Amino acid sequence: MQNSVARSIDRYGVVGHPVAHSRSPMIHAMFAAATGQNLVYDRYDLAPDDFTREVGAFFAAGGRGLNVTVPHKETAARLADELTPRARLAGAVNTLARLDDGRILGDNTDGAGLMADLHRLGCDITDKRVLILGAGGATRGILGPLRDRRPAELIVANRTAERARELAGHSGCVYEALATRKDLPFDVVIHATSLGLEGKVPAVTAKIVGPGTFAYDLGYGKPETPFTRWATEHGAGRVAQGIGMLVEQAAESFLLWRGLRPDTTAAHRAVIA
Ligand code: ATR
């Protein structure tokens, strides 16, 4: 991960596998230009076996911070010398920062990014009935911030009941259980499974969405995702996808690293162009 960039420029980057299509370099370059910050932000494709060694070398060589994406988020949480409370809660790290004393801080800005994007879209979840589909790492990252907004109900439904209950306590259930509910549709449905990567959606009753439903997919695709297409086809009043969350979690990482939060308007426009 060494490169020839002058030591005086602060170095950042995104680590993933694969990472070639990551939009983070473009987003952070826009933030840096807009705020007059002198930094470079590169992509690093690291296989799992190389992650810990190469990330250590990046920071030892003076690197300031890294975003971490699939499949390294849990490894990054183990690598960090210290975790923020929200990273500990999520059990995963999407942002690493070198502290002044050389130790590495692990943070997770995904939940804050989702909340900022929902706010930007005018979706206030306070007192709303909210359903999350999926109980993996993505759900763990957003559950705390969602709960903090005090929805009327927050239900986690998953293929495997155990994982849903583990995360959500008594409001966890399996997909089939949703079909028996009398109080459908939900106000907000958040899709957080990894099925979109295979072009699929969870096997769940279409009654969860209706004209009053805001359906949000944590994943993203152009111009839609399998889940946003499914939700639209089944009558969801409004859909949105996680490209907006990507921009907002980047702004939260930038804030951690540089001490200021960039205006995200131009980046939102650029990522959907
Ligand atoms: P991530 O960290 O990306 O969330 P994960 O922790 O492996 O990845 O979680 C993947 C999520 O997608 C889980 O909710 C998983 O359901 P299970 O807990 O039952 O495995 C869900 N998922 C993955 N493949 C699925 C499938 N074919 N059908 C239904 N749900 C699936």
pLDDT in tens, 146-173: 999 999 999 999 999 999 999 999 999 9
Residue 207 lies in a domain: yes
Strands (E), the chain: 10-16, 39-45, 65-68, 82-83, 95-98, 104-107, 129-133, 153-158, 172-174, 188-191, 214-217, 238-241
95 lines ligand 1 (CB under 6 A): no
Asked if the model's pLDDT at residue 116 lies above 70, the reply is yes
Are residues 22 and 64 located together in one domain of the fold?
yes
Which pLDDT tens digit goes with each residue over 4-41?
555 579 999 999 999 999 999 999 999 999 999 999 99
* Closest listed residue to residue 141, CA positions, set 97, 89, 82: 89
pTM to 2 decimal places? 0.94
Residue 230 lies in a domain: yes
Asked if the model's pLDDT at residue 70 lies above 70, the reply is yes
Write down the mean pLDDT value for the chain: 95
**Buried/exposed code over 84-105 (b: 16+ C-beta within 10 A; e: otherwise):** bebbebbebbbbbbbeeeeebb
Are residues 70 and 141 located together in one domain of the fold?
no
Residue 207 is part of which domain span?
111-243
Which pLDDT tens digit goes with each residue over 39-62?
999 999 999 999 999 999 999 999
What mean pLDDT is predicted for residues 115-139?
A: 97
CA–centroid distance, residue 202 to ligand 1 (Å): 9
Specify the pLDDT at position 273.
84
Token duo for residue 185: 């549709």
Are residues 48 and 142 located together in one domain of the fold?
no
138 lines ligand 1 (CB under 6 A): yes
CA–centroid distance, residue 168 to ligand 1 (Å): 15
Are residues 70 and 148 located together in one domain of the fold?
no
What mean pLDDT is predicted for residues 223-238?
A: 97
Asked if the model's pLDDT at residue 2 lies above 90, the reply is no
Residue 129 lies in a domain: yes
Active site residue 128: no
160 lines ligand 1 (CB under 6 A): yes
Are residues 90 and 139 located together in one domain of the fold?
no
